[in-house]
Amino acid sequence: MKKVSISDIARKAGVSVSTVSFVMNDKAVKMRISREVIEKVENVAREMGYRPNQLARGLRTGKTKTIGLIVENISNAFFATLAKTIEDEAKKYDYKVVYCSTDNDDEKARDLINMLSQRQVDGYIITPTPELAQEIRKLQAENKPVVLIDRYFPEFNEIPAVLVDNYEGVAAGTEYLVGKGYRKIAIVTIENEMAHMKDRLRAYYDVLRRHDIAVDETLVNIVPYHAGRDKSLQQIQDLFKGAGTSIDAVFFLTNYLGVLGIEAIKNMQIRIPGQLALLCFDDNDIFRLYTPTISVIRQPIEAIGQKAMATLIERLKHTGSEVYPGADPIQLLPELIARESI
């Protein structure tokens, strides 16, 4: 089969060879080629199965057509689905993805950024750790496009972020529990100073106050992030032991805490929903397969990945010299999925 050339693309797109060359070598914006022509050439190239010589292109343009994806934990169902979506979206633009996990460790995150920088990735999609703001700002200063996902730094609004509306998700879940008549609602979250987790906990408090429900701090269980599985499980069981029958519902603010919660509840032979209603932020296959099925606040994972990739691609098409105005993070609405556990 004959290899597709830029001349072939030019003929089919009805443009000059030089125009195709500028588009393929990321110089279209600099050469003032219109957005419509750029998209037309890119679409024709994809349809014809054009595959440029990436080594030669990288030497010529300084672009490697690779993206660095840094998430918290690639084995977590949420981040695994997110990574697969980003990988699929990147393929549409002929980009490859190199992904890795931070385990929410700042030092590891810095090492990963350094490693990806040495590999000369063209841009980054990052789930930041708490102290990573300066490193991310440094990347931006070096004209390396960065998009944050799942969490963000409110003080750095010039860096685009795509995430779920965490406040609205927890508010909707807590409102639903209150509407079903539950008043002793325990909350289980992780020890995390990032804005997205603060938003989730703030929503819980706000809803209780709106309904004149007294906030009982003994029902707020904050699990240290690096506690480990066994200690986290024990802490959740201690919550149920300490509060006893005074808890009528529990809301887990991450899916892996929800999985541990199911184990703790099973160990203590607590009946769901007869003795305890259960709701979890974020879905998981286990929640659909468990009996009874577990109610969740489902994040639009695919939409987050698609939007993050589209935002990064838009910035990759520019020279990197533009100054972007600050903007609030792009927040997508989650969905309450009421199942048998409530």
Lowest mean pLDDT among 4-8, 260-264, 267-271, 329-333: 4-8
Q: Quick one: pLDDT band at residue 98, thresholds 50, 70, 90?
A: very high
pLDDT on residue 327: 73
Q: How far apart are CA 109 and CA 126, in angstroms?
A: 10
Lowest-pLDDT choice from 50-64, 126-140, 194-208: 50-64
Cα–Cα distance for residue pair 146/169, rounded to 1 Å? 26
User: Residue 113 in contact with residue 135, Cβ under 8 Å?
Assistant: yes
Structure tokens of 232? 């986290």
Closest CA to 200 of 192, 260, 226: 192
Window from 2-11, 65-74, 173-182 with minimum mean pLDDT: 2-11
Q: Are 257 and 189 in contact (CB under 8 A)?
A: yes
Tens digit of each residue's pLDDT (9 = 90 or more) over 34-64: 988 998 998 998 888 887 655 445 545 567 8
Q: What is the pLDDT of residue 49?
A: 82
Average pLDDT, stretch 213-234? 92
pLDDT single digits (tens) 238-253? 999 876 668 999 999 9
Average pLDDT of span 212-234 = 92
For the chain, domains (ranges, CATH) are 6-51 (1.10.260.40), 60-162+301-330 (3.40.50.2300), 166-298 (3.40.50.2300)
pTM of the model: 0.78
> Which residue, 35, 26, 15, 27, is CA-closest to 93?
26
Residue 52, pLDDT score: 67
pLDDT at residue number 114: 93
- Position with higher pLDDT, 24 vs 331: 331
pLDDT at 115 over 90: yes
pLDDT of residue 253: 97
316 neighbors 122 (Cβ within 8 angstroms): yes
pLDDT at position 186? 96
Q: In what order do the strands lie in the sheet with 330-332?
A: 96-101, 66-71, 123-126, 146-149, 161-164, 330-332
Whole-number Å distance between alpha carbons of 18 and 39: 15
How far, in Å, CA of 5 to CA of 21, rounded? 10
Predicted confidence (pLDDT) at residue 137 exceeds the cutoff of 70 = yes
Q: Could you tell me which residues come within 8 angstroms of residue 326 by beta carbon, excluding any fewer than 6 positions away? A: 157, 158
| Mean pLDDT in residue range 320-340 | 81
Average pLDDT, the chain: 89
- Structure confidence at residue 322 as a pLDDT band (50, 70, 90): low
In sequence order, the β-bridge partners of residue 222 are 189
Q: How far apart are CA 92 and CA 101, in angstroms?
A: 24
Determine the pLDDT at residue 277: 97
Helix, strand and coil content of the chain, in percent to the nearest 5, comes to 45, 15, 40
CA gap 24, 21 in Å, rounded = 5
